[in-house]
Structure 1
């Protein structure tokens, strides 16, 4: 990075300007980054010498104005030199803070992140969830340890965060913290949000993420094929807790509900649809969008099985839901009993609904997207897999239409 800078004074045209004096601004440039600061003075355009960046004339008023501008020029030069003597890099952000006298009150990264997390904490249940806050708290911990390791400091001023800081932090997450691509991308997304917040408040004016690109690719989403789903459905389970977990898992395989959504499912969410059949109408926990799902026979059979089950009936739930941790633990037992080698988690049920139950049976992706409650069909495409049997079926239809035989 160059330690040089350039400064010029110019007249800035105000909004809705017609005639008269224009305010004088100084434009400072360092390595292509520019900031504009008002001098607090103005000048009539007819008296301004744009080549000299000064006012024209020999009157006392003109001399006073030009003397003031020269004083500002010297002040900027002195502040620039002061930054260099302190061993700091004279960025446009830091120089602007020095000129405006805001350097002493400069915001720091972790203080802004802590304030963000406190506000999120106060809004839990009103647009934010505990798991989201937990992720941001982990981000604070990672950033705190990264700053301590790389800068031997407890915090870092926002204006000091540059592209090097960003890529260094990502490398730290992948190496020191052994984060997967997806986890690292999540923590980088949290940091980007804090940077965008700082830009919006004008605590900084340049975006250190400007040239940053992540190479993280979406993780392949696992799902059950038809044979695996059939094995789970038909498996005779002697242990009651495994029966309950299996039934709830299968119910979600045929409805596409997530753990959070099936946990809050009550009678109020069951309606008679336009086809005189039962539908699930529920606002998704994650996006607060409405999911409208016709209840398939297998799912309806499970609802009827637990219709009068005392533990779930007492708290208004339609199904006897356990904690997500316990459900996933028991699903691993069920997978072993059914001879399934995939790592079975509750969210696989949602993937299975999108692939094996719907898309592979010809349900249009637009319909699947509506049932899953996605805001954007591109989200559905991450779930949707064109299975081999669907491709085979489509090609058979093509052969019929073309009138040819392989």
Structure 2
């Protein structure tokens, strides 16, 4: 399967037909090599007036899985298709979506479904992608033919000069990404959900945008616990102290950004750790979830799941949106994170169509708790039509993905256009939030 996928991505697919190459047609992508969160300009020229074409994107990930997408276009009277201007008439999306080919990348028809396109080795090489133009409007799942033009592009996850330092500092594990240059930088700790492991692509992009970013795993990595059975906030405190004291990090403190389980850990960190002065919660819960959180002489119990409330679709996709116990039930009040004790600032980012759990409800409950205690140290970004995992811009929309813990595809919710627009909008606002609260005179 890997060899087959590689041959297709390389344009050498051995099938019982031959490509017809139309040399007059040109495909341009600008910039051809760019950071993965950048929007590109994509144009096809040299077509006949009103000619129909299919534009495709093809990429093989580091595990050998082939992802592809396609869209149907019609040239204007000059024989040009411009994705900044022209609407897709069909394929994997419709409408004027300049980055729609990236948004809609999904496992190819011969691959296992519900895999997530995610860059693992962000520092070693860019993500290389082929873009192709085919004559006519093709079925998105058909084997392509009649290739008219092709170009290879690169999606970079580290800007030139960004340094990656693997950490084994005391108990702390992870990767520290430092921007280029001599100055000190705002420091951010970056965490993801219960899939565990070391996830670096958001940290490397943050460093590319001027932040010293620590990608912090907390489960299922090296000598860290293999599963979420118990948490000790001292581990996260050690990470915060390390980043705060780093000579390349400026005060007045550090920030933390978390998605899913990483989001409620971020809320606990800003609540109890004085080094943390700004927290971004993406699709998080207002309670400590999954396992007990211990710190010094107290414990916040973990809000539990009831798997009997899980629903399974006809296509064997699991809907776990009702599985988590209700954090707003008075019986579960001991699981709530006392965020009103925090001295720092909060940014809540949620999709209103999150079907992993009710993150919009949880964010509003957290804000209500802050308001009840006279706090105004928060902002809320809420996006209609967006689902659970709100990543940096141009990340493919993945409405359902295989969960590492359960081993089955879990519904995340959302709609392609709304979700990907939420990713674009929130990314810059997250950076602005951290710049506002993490910037003071250099050390």
- TM-score normalised per structure 2: 0.22
Please identify which structure carries the higher helix content: 1
Q: Which has the larger radius of gyration?
A: 1
Please identify which structure carries the higher strand content: 2
- TM-score normalised per structure 1: 0.24
The answer to which structure, 1 or 2, has the higher relative contact order (CA under 8 A, 6+ apart) is 2
